[in-house]
Each structure stands twice: as C-alpha cells, then as structure tokens.
Amino acid sequence: MRETVIIGPTAVQSILPDCTKPISVGHSYSIEVFFDSFLRRIIDFGSGIDEFTIKHLYASTGPSRAEQTYEYTPPEALLNATWYQGPTSSTLKYDMWSVGVVMLEMVLGTPNIFQINALTRALLDRHLEGWNEGVKELAYSSMLVRCEDLHIITIIYFNMADRLRSFMELCILIPGVSGNSKKYHKVNQVGVSPASWKCSEEFFSRQIKARDPLKIGFSNIWALRLVRRLLLWDPEDRPSVDEALRHPYFQPPPRG
C-alpha cells in the first residue's frame, strides 16, 4: 500500500519532524542522515565526527571536503578545515544547519537555494567592499590555507565569495550582525554592519515568497523563525535537535 503524501503549506510541518528526530539518536552513534525524496532512512556514511572516527578513519588529516555535501555544509565547515576539532556542542550543530537547508528546499521546491541573481550580486558587492580585513579573513583565508595551487585558490576564492553573497541575501550574517554571538562582532568602515540594512523578518518573508514558484512562502511566522534559527552562522547559536523539536512551529495549534 502506497503512503499518501500531503502536498501544500503544511507538508513541511508534517515531514520535517520525521527527518529531524533520528538525528538525536544518530548523534550518539556517529550516524549521518540521508534524505531520499519523501522516504526517510538512516545509513552510516562513516562521516560522523567523534574521537574514534577521527583516529581510526581520518587519522591526522581529518575529513576532507570530499566527504561533505557542499549545499548542506555550514559556514564553520566551509571556512575552517579543522572545524571537527571543536567542542561537541558546536560540531553537532552541523546537522541542524543541514535540517534548515532541507526545510528551505521543501518550502521553495528546489535544491538551489543558495543562488543569487545579477542585481543582488551587484548590490551585495558594494557592501562586501566595505568589510574590514578581519571579516574578510574570516570569510576567505581559512579556506585557502591548505592549498598551494594559485589557480585552485582563485576558484575557491570566487566560489566562497558567491556563497557569502547568497548567505547575505538570505539574511545569514556574520555573528555580531545577527544572533547572540559576540565572537566576530565587526562593522564596516562607515560603522554599519554588512547586510543589516534589510534583514528584518518581513524582508526575509518577502524574499522566500518571491522565490517560491507557488508564491506561498512560509506557512506561518513560526516556520520563518525556525529556519532563521537553524541557519544562524555561529553553530552555538543554533538550536539542538530537542530544542528544534520543541519549537512552536511543531506544536499543535491551541483549540478555540
């Protein structure tokens, strides 16, 4: 008997908990979550990061970016080759970023959520030009430290610049611009935080609705707020699995 799939504004709310709950168990066994259309299953790719895995599978070199799916990789892994050596409280939040990406994919009906148009690129470039060297170093240099080929470095540089621009368009900002972290609180040369010029909830909602082929966007304000929490730049600012599942978005509406 084929399972009936609910399509509509509530589909994400129905499916996402099934995608998220196994992560809580998976974290304790170094298991990754594989999404295959509306079917959910758990398999072990050997990419779970813990002390045993690093020692016996990756040795001193650590996991390379070949073991990561680029579109689901959070900033800390894109920009820092040794991200997996951080505290568990941060490394486990890698998966929560991926859940946020999957949620946006379901809302927008496309896996290409980090693409930007030419007009947006030009507008954001103006703001990137004003960033001080500390922010530029955070955004670019740590990705290049292991690479000696100038051609490859150039390609990586521009790929990361594009990804940074797409983050800004979706209001995913350097810590200090958004969220609670004070770790990288920096402003540009004229004292204005990059991209803070339009990253309100109203703007973000309009962005998603405009990119949704059905022009629906988020089903409610709680969906929007959950995505923004899952896609915070600093992993320590993202919710844990249990915190995400307790989010008001997943709670039944009060009975009138």
Q: How confident is the model at residue 111, as a pLDDT?
A: 84
Q: Please give the model's pTM, rounded to 2 decimal places.
A: 0.64
Is 128 or 233 the better-scoring residue by pLDDT? 233
Please state, in angstroms and rounded to a whole number, the distance separating the CA atoms of residues 118 and 165.
11
Q: Give the model's confidence band at 139: pLDDT under 50 very low, under 70 low, under 90 confident, else very high.
A: very low
Please state, in angstroms and rounded to a whole number, the distance separating the CA atoms of residues 70 and 80.
14
The answer to whether residue 102 scores a pLDDT higher than 80 is yes
Q: End-to-end distance of the chain based on CA atoms, in angstroms? A: 36
CA proximity to 238, closest of 128, 109, 93: 93
What average pLDDT score do residues 213-236 get? Answer: 92
Strand partners, 175: 178
Q: How confident is the model at residue 97, as a pLDDT?
A: 92
pLDDT digits (tens, 9 = 90+) for 159-205: 667 777 788 888 887 765 443 444 433 434 433 334 444 688 998 99
CA proximity to 217, closest of 72, 119, 98, 103: 103
What average pLDDT score do residues 46-73 get? Answer: 62
CA proximity to 162, closest of 51, 70, 93: 70
Q: 11-249 has which fold? A: Transferase(Phosphotransferase); domain 1 (1.10.510)
Q: Give the model's confidence band at 52: pLDDT under 50 very low, under 70 low, under 90 confident, else very high.
A: low
| C-alpha pair distances (Å), 125 with each of 119, 130, 142, 192 | 10, 9, 21, 15
Q: How confident is the model at residue 72, as a pLDDT?
A: 83
